[in-house]
Structure 1
Amino acid sequence: MTEDQRGAALLRGAVSSPRASFLELFFDLVFVFALTRVSQRIIDDVASPGRDVWSEVAQTLLLFLALWLVWTLTAWVTSRYEPERGIIQFVVVATMFGSMVMAVALPRAFAERALTFACAYLAVQIGRPLLITVALRRHPRRTVTVRILAWLTLGAVPWLAGALVPQQALRAVFWTVAVAWDYTGLALGWPVPRLGPTRVSGWAVMGEHLAERYQQIFLIALGETILIIGFTFSMSEFSAARFGAFALSFLVTALFWRIYFHRAGHLLAEAIRVARSPGLLGESASWTHLVIVAGVLLTAVGYELVIDHPFARMESTWAVFVMGGPTLFLAARARFEYEIFGRVSRSRLAGVLVLAALAPLALRMSPMVALASAAAVLAAIAVSDAARSWGRPAERPASPL
């Protein structure tokens, strides 16, 4: 077997299973824990008096974006390369361990664990394309991983500089530059001199596999909210008010699931399969799911606040999570609908506008009433979806992408 043939053996072929492998599902378990650390970090910041909450939330956003980039690039790797090959399995398991280290370091990543977080991130992001480049040997596709490797290696400079400076403010500046650099590379295709860019929108991908991975990360985010709801209620003193908040939080999570999977969520795999540019739709869906998951995580923070303080006076910061999380989710879900069908239902647009209008009014409500208002809007959208599809044939995907 020639070197080109050995490299080609790593690529997904026609006989590859389009379903996510058990190894990938195992990999996702780390992100159940990691997303819980993200939410808990924000919860601790909101609950701690005297802290600059929005500065802390901005820091947590940077850490979440780093985790998301690790997950999404791994999803694209397993969609392009055969996950049953030993080297790809090693890459996934090594990424899993690095992600676990990042999650463990995350609560104190802007303090004494900064270097641990940065080194774990860089080991994953640089080690993955390096190993695949070596494994591809002389196969033409190795130029893709060479671009990624060169771009992320240069991006290691601000990551390490931020980890080594003692001031948190400077660390935030360096890491903001680092995250911006890494996401710019993803958006532009990691352009390097002479080789140029390689946009993921042009990659050949396994559509059903990539769609399943996006669906699974959304379910992981919902699983994280279930953990928050359960842990918060079990650790608090039982009362009728807290049980009501517990039940209401569960209802909102169930409505998230219902609204996401109604039509568009089920048809993502087919939409990618029939799209004229599957990679373009896959890339767009990646950005959309980033915002969807962020909305779910923000709402999870609101759940803990509502369960712990169901009828307390609403703080201005609390309203951002209780009302802002569902608003962000619904806005991203509207974009997701456009990606699949080329249109957005009026109920979703109306829901976003109503939630945005209710946000300033939430300061006059108790946390319980504010969450109930958000649940009512989401329930109305779910009912509208059911009524609109009742007795009608299933709509086919017609992505404008």
Structure 2
Amino acid sequence: MAAGRGAGLLRPPTSSGRATFLELFFDLAFVVALTRVSQRFAGLGEDTGWTLVLGFGRTLLLFLALWLIWSHTAWITSRYEPEQPVIQAVVVGTMFAGLIMAVTLPRAMEERALPFAAAYLMVMVVRPLVIAAALRGHPRRLVPFRLAVWASASAPLWLAGALGPDDLRLPLWVAAVAVDYVAWALGWPLPWLGASKVARWRIAGTHLADRYQQMFLIALGESILVIGVVFSGTDYAADRATAFAVAFATSALLWRIYFHCAGLLLTDALDRVAMPARLGTALERTHLLLVLSVLVTAVGYELVIDDPFGRPRPNWLPFVVGGPMLFLVSRVRLEYEIFGRVSRSQPIGLVALLLCTPALAHWAPMVGLSVVAGVLALVALVDAWWRRGRPMEAPGSPTGGEKPDVGDSEA
């Protein structure tokens, strides 16, 4: 009887695969969060050497914590019925915690470390306990219980980093994030209970594909916001107007390259495989890199629009050129996960940017952004030419093709 009550929380086969309005509302908190991440990255524009590396690492750490919150929520709403009041309460509570993390993020490695860590732990520890209680006697309740135990294990590292000396915060939080990500990869194993491999979970593949596509669009939207805000706050000179136009074209090309075939077919790919959660796990890591690449690229827009023909600064290359390079690497990975092969255009574009980077270090930022836009345009044109007149290719993912283990009662 208890299992029956708990089973009412699970997604029925008749549930809509599309994201709900509540989830789109939830994403608003992460629009704020991604904007704050970009602002922290942009603050590194004048740094060099070890200072730049250290600042980049701190901001990356905060982004990884945010990503874990968002991706866990996406998987929760792919496994449980979003129209259930308990799940709705969980999503709204997570949104509030995400908003706290967003507003504290600019100084989260400094004096606002405690509220950032406390909001993170409220989601990671309390949320799975609420879901486990709602599942009552259902076998799946052991999955959120595992999450809560592992999150409790990393909690002392988060709290020690927030309350301890400033110079220990980064290493302690790096260890904490590593524990949380490794636990996810291993399936949160516990003595006597074993692990619950995410690749074996039963999920709504259409919903998960929707969520990844939406998060990528949110990241692109943040880049458009950066373009508009920076240009509107500067003098309307011809060189800045040109940088504004090239930055917009670059974001449009990122959208085109992502959705051309591979990004457009996420839903079909997840529907065709025998174990969609296995493919979904791979796509989660790929989209982490894709979203990060767009955020880093957006910082390059800000630096270029602010001073298009300023003196050459090699420390801008990680943003102006490095972001698009990371995007192409991630896009290659995405194409392999969807089709089991890689087209030539993206690796060629990546090599072209690598070869150009040493020379771009001696040119004005505007030259670097223009070269990036030109390479991305070439990649998009080659892809379009190769597909011209051909029918849409069906997904053939090499991931998730094995038959599921029907004996896995926790899935």
What range is the shorter-chain TM-score in? over 0.9
1:10-58: CA deviation from partner (whole Å, max 9, x where unpaired): 0001110000000000001111110000000111232479992221111
- Counterpart in the other structure of 2:187: 189
- The equivalences for 1:366-381 within 5 A come to 366-381=364-379
Instruction: Give the corresponding residue for 1:64.
Output: 63
> 2-side partners of 1:28 and 1:360: how far apart?
39
CA-CA distance at 1:357 after TM superposition: 1.7
CA-CA distance at 1:276 after TM superposition: 2.2
Q: Does the residue aligned with 2:3 lie in a helix, a strand or coil?
A: helix
Query: Which residue matches 1:148?
Result: 147
Equivalent residue for 1:84? Answer: 83
Decide whether the 8 Å contact of 1:351 with 1:378 is kept in 2: yes
Scaled by the length of structure 2, the TM-score of the pair is 0.95
Q: Match of 2:409?
A: none
- Quick check: 1:53 aligned with 2:52? yes
Q: State the shift of 1:5 in Å.
A: 1.1
Match of 2:18 in 1: 19
Q: Which residue of 1 is the match for residue 257 of structure 2?
A: 259
One-letter identity of the residue aligned with 2:271: R
| Partner in structure 1 of residue 396 of structure 2 | 398
Deviations along 1:174-221, one digit per CA (max 9) or x if unpaired, are: 000000000001111111111111111111110110000000000000
* Corresponding position of 1:333: 331
1:336-366 per-position Cα deviation (integer Å, ceiling 9, x unaligned): 0000000000111111111122222211121
Output the amino acid matched with 2:338: I
Residue of structure 1 equivalent to 2:129? 130
* Partner Cα separation in structure 2 for residue 158 and residue 362 of structure 1: 41
- Aligned match of 1:384 in 372, 379, 382? 382
Counterpart mapping for 1:94-243 below 5 A: 94-167=93-166, 169-243=167-241
- The CA distance in 1 between the partners of 2:263 and 2:49, in whole Å, is 42
* 1:99 to partner: Cα distance: 0.2
Instruction: Using the TM superposition, give the Cα deviation of residue 249 of structure 1 relative to its aligned residue in structure 2, in angstroms.
Output: 0.4
Q: Which amino acid aligns with 1:376?
A: G
CA distance, structure 2, for counterparts of residue 388 and residue 144 of structure 1: 45
* Amino-acid identity (%): 55
Q: Is the Cα–Cα contact under 8 Å of residues 314 and 362 in structure 2 kept in the other structure?
A: no
The residue type equivalent to 2:368 in the other structure is A
Q: CA deviation at 1:166?
A: 2.5
2:357 counterpart of 1:359: yes
Asked if structure 1 preserves the Cα contact closer than 8 Å seen for 2:143 and 2:196, the reply is yes
1:38 matched residue in structure 2? 37
Distance 1:51 1:31 in 2: 29
CA deviation profile, 1:238-295 (whole Å, cap 9, x unmatched): 1000000000000000000000000011111110111122111000000000001111
Q: Which residue in the other structure is 1:299 paired with?
A: 297
The code of the aligned residue for 2:340 comes to G
CA distance in structure 1 between the aligned counterparts of 2:206 and 2:48, rounded to whole angstroms: 47
Q: Provide the rounded CA distance (Å) in 2 between the counterparts of 1:47 and 1:287.
A: 30
Q: CA RMSD in A?
A: 1.2
**Aligned partners of 1:207 and 1:269 also within 8 Å:** yes
Q: What is the TM-score when the length of structure 1 is the normalising length?
A: 0.98
Q: Name the SS for the 1:364 alignment partner.
A: coil
SS at match of 1:312: coil
Residue aligned with 2:260, SS: helix
The number of residues matched between the two structures is 399
**Preserved contact between residue 45 and residue 51 of structure 1 (Cα < 8 Å):** no
Report which structure shows greater RCO (CA 8 Å, sep ≥6).
2
Distance in structure 2 (CA, Å) of the matches to 1:305 and 1:120: 32
What runs of 5+ residues in structure 2 fail to find an aligned partner? 400-411
Distance 1:359 1:127 in 2: 47
CA distance in 1, matches of 2:254, 2:336: 18
Q: Which residue number corresponds to residue 288 of structure 1?
A: 286
Q: How far does the alpha carbon of each residue in 1:209-239 deviate from its partner, in whole angstroms, 9 at most, with x for none? A: 0000000000000011011111100111110
Checking the alignment, whether the CA contact within 8 Å between 2:48 and 2:315 is kept in structure 1 is no
Query: Match of 2:205, as an amino acid?
Result: G
User: Match for residue 319 of structure 1?
Assistant: 317
One-letter identity of the residue aligned with 2:288: L
Of 384-393 and 41-50, deviating more is 41-50
Match of 2:328, as an amino acid? Answer: L
Q: Secondary structure at the match of 1:395?
A: coil
Residue 305 of structure 1: how far off its partner (Å): 0.4
Q: Secondary structure at the match of 1:45?
A: coil
**Distance in 1 between residues matched to 2:306 and 2:249, nearest whole Å:** 17
Paired amino acid for 1:66: A
When structure 1 is superposed on structure 2, of 310-319 and 135-144 the one drifting more is: 310-319
Whether contact under 8 Å (1:324, 1:359) holds in the other structure is: no
**4+ residue stretches of structure 1 with deviation over 3 A?**
47-51
